[in-house]
Amino acid sequence: MAILVNQQPQCVLYEDDHLLVVNKPAGLNTHAPSPFAGEGIYEWLRHRLPAWAHLATIQRLDKETSGIILFSKSTLANKSLTQQFESRKVEKEYVLLTDRAPTTLAGRVHTGISRVGDKYVTGPIESADTEAETWFTPAGKTSLGWLIRARPLTGRTHQIRVHAASRGCPLLGDVIYGGTTFRRVCLHAERLRFQHPASRQLMEFHAPVDFSADTSDILRAAVIDPEATNAWRVWHGVPDRRPGWFVERWGDWLLSQSERDLTRSQIEELRKLVEKWNLKGAYHKRLLKSLRTQSNTEASPSLIFRREAESTNLTGPFNISEENVKFEVSFDEGYSVGIFLDQRENRRRFLRNHIAAEFPIRTQGLAGCQVLNTFAYTCGFSVCAALAGAVVTSLDLSKKYLDWGRRNFVLNGIDPSKHEFVFGDAFDWLRRFEKKARKFEVIILDPPTFSQSKEGGIWKADQDYAKLVQAALPLLGPSGILLASTNAATLKPEAFVTLVEQSVASVRRKILKRHYAPQPIDFPMNREQPGYLKTLWLRIS
């Protein structure tokens, strides 16, 4: 049974055979700054759809700069647009916000710009690294400060920011260049005008901005379709300016998580979200360092408040939607509610049969594909693979969770009897499957960081992952797909990739294709709060 998956993200403004025009949110890089960092908008788009596999970046925006960004989809577009930018035929207009009276920021600013450390400075053109020219026009005052339109005639790094600061008007939030601290750098690429590379028609795009809006909300709105998905991480600690506090939407409810009880101001923030999205109420869960000593009741969240129209507390399971796929979840099950939101993009890859640019799971589609989902939990991966046509074997140490998984199959119109649900220890069953000469075209390894069973003893992901890969590989057929994922924070991305790849080599198998996937965009990362989820997709000979 196929599921309808929305093809075009909310951030896309326009697309044809040659162009892709996107409204990039603040807080998202144009390109990933390193191989194991969070994806930039370019990587996220390029790996999302087969038609976008050959995207080329025509111009870039800083991470904290929002607005219109242009990508080419064809050789013709790439050549034409590059020439238009180089010959200054493309008209770009930005809007910035400053809290300093712009008495000296109007008209032309034409200087040299040089890099000094991590910053850029203006100076005489003849002695600078390069020259830069910007035209500024005052555009009125708001409660936050003065709006100014900027038209850069050249495209130098930090050009507008440096020129504004050099005239005593640093952007609000641009602390690098002397601006007042704010939730974001207040610079937005508002308008772009150019000639279409094929039709020669004049194209113009306009994207307004509200600098007072919550950037966390805008970031999620750019990449999540609320018509198809009603569960995501709303705030993710430090990168969303809320250290130690994590908030998720689960259908009609909010789930807050932190190590402490909520403050009055935090509860008020939750109330605003509930009103904004017309939800039923909010729950809070204390994040405990030792989960194994806690009962389900102690580890489960508690009701903080509900709307007046909601007469009772939430009891028992309820359903959420992710890419139009239904999952049963519950706030009464202890640490986890039934599905891990940070694996949404990986589940989506099964729905699309598309791992990354020019990397399908199976060239002929997933119909009839044999998939083994170890540590299946409530069978989220299994449901998505089955919806795409695969025949799935779900293996887990808990009968309760496998029964939960069967209910998820039924929720989505899938007959569980046509799939296999296996109760037991993963290592034990991997050995049994090997003895029976079972083969699978896809094997999913997404184990917990810690578990314990009578058959297998104690399992620790950071110590035992290599053994798991080696135990699974005899079951993987030729040119099969291995999905290896872990949320073990002690395993650094580089070490995890090396561990998995060396495990493959140790059994004399060869990696034909690979794709590393970080955690999704609604789980942002930075230096203060690095990423924890690591996923490696491999096609193995």
In the predicted model, what is the mean pLDDT of residues 167-190?
Answer: 97
**Between the CA of residue 540 and those of 31, 36, 477, 501, what are the distances in Å?**
28, 21, 8, 10
Q: Has residue 307 got a pLDDT over 90?
A: no
Q: Specify whether the CB–CB gap between 111 and 152 falls below 8 A.
A: no
Q: Has residue 424 got a pLDDT over 70?
A: yes
Between CA 330 and CA 337 the distance in angstroms is: 5
pLDDT band at 1 (very low <50, low <70, confident <90, very high): very low
Q: 172: which 2 tokens?
A: 């609000």
- Give the chain's radius of gyration (CA, Å): 25
Q: What is the pLDDT of residues 360-384, one digit of tens each?
A: 999 999 999 999 999 999 999 999 9
Q: Classify residue 356 by its DSSP letter.
A: B
Between CA 501 and CA 140 the distance in angstroms is: 57
Predicted local confidence at residue 4, as pLDDT:
45
Active-site annotation holds for 99: no
Q: Has residue 243 got a pLDDT over 90?
A: yes
Q: Has residue 61 got a pLDDT over 70?
A: yes
Q: Has residue 3 got a pLDDT over 60?
A: no
For residue 495, the one-letter residue type is A
Predicted local confidence at residue 56, as pLDDT:
96
**In the chain, what are the domains?**
12-206 (3.30.2350.10), 225-319 (3.30.750), 340-540 (3.40.50.150)
Predicted local confidence at residue 372, as pLDDT:
98
> Which of 192-206, 252-266, 455-469 has the weakest average pLDDT?
455-469
pLDDT band at 203 (very low <50, low <70, confident <90, very high): very high
Owner of token pair 């930018």: 85
Q: Specify whether the CB–CB gap between 389 and 418 falls below 8 A.
A: no
Q: 282: which 2 tokens?
A: 């909010």
| Beta strands in 207-272, from DSSP E residues, in sequence order | 231-236, 246-250, 253-258
Q: 408: which 2 tokens?
A: 């998820």
Q: Of the candidates 386, 395, 478, 461, which has an alpha carbon nearest to the alpha carbon of residue 431?
A: 395
Predicted local confidence at residue 451, as pLDDT:
72
Which is more confidently placed, 289 or 344?
344
CA atoms within 13 A on the CB side of 233: 23
Q: 439: which 2 tokens?
A: 């083969």
Q: 328: which 2 tokens?
A: 């049963």
Which is more confidently placed, 453 or 299?
299
Q: What is the mean pLDDT of the chain?
A: 93
Predicted local confidence at residue 294, as pLDDT:
59
pLDDT band at 457 (very low <50, low <70, confident <90, very high): confident
Predicted local confidence at residue 19, as pLDDT:
96
Between CA 212 and CA 170 the distance in angstroms is: 17
Between CA 445 and CA 465 the distance in angstroms is: 9
Residue 220 parent element (H or E): helix 215-223
Q: How many residues does the chain have?
A: 541
DSSP per residue, 390-420: -EEEEEES-HHHHHHHHHHHHHTT--GGGSE
In the predicted model, what is the mean pLDDT of residues 116-122?
Answer: 93
Name the active-site residue from 16, 17, 62, 462: 62
Predicted local confidence at residue 103, as pLDDT:
87
Q: Classify residue 51 by its DSSP letter.
A: G
Q: Has residue 5 got a pLDDT over 50?
A: no
Q: What is the pLDDT of residues 388-410, one digit of tens each?
A: 999 999 999 999 999 999 999 99
Quick one: how far is CA 148 from the chain centroid? 32
Q: Specify whether the CB–CB gap between 72 and 42 falls below 8 A.
A: no
| Beta strands in 294-353, from DSSP E residues, in sequence order | 302-306, 318-322, 325-329
Q: Specify whether the CB–CB gap between 97 and 146 falls below 8 A.
A: yes
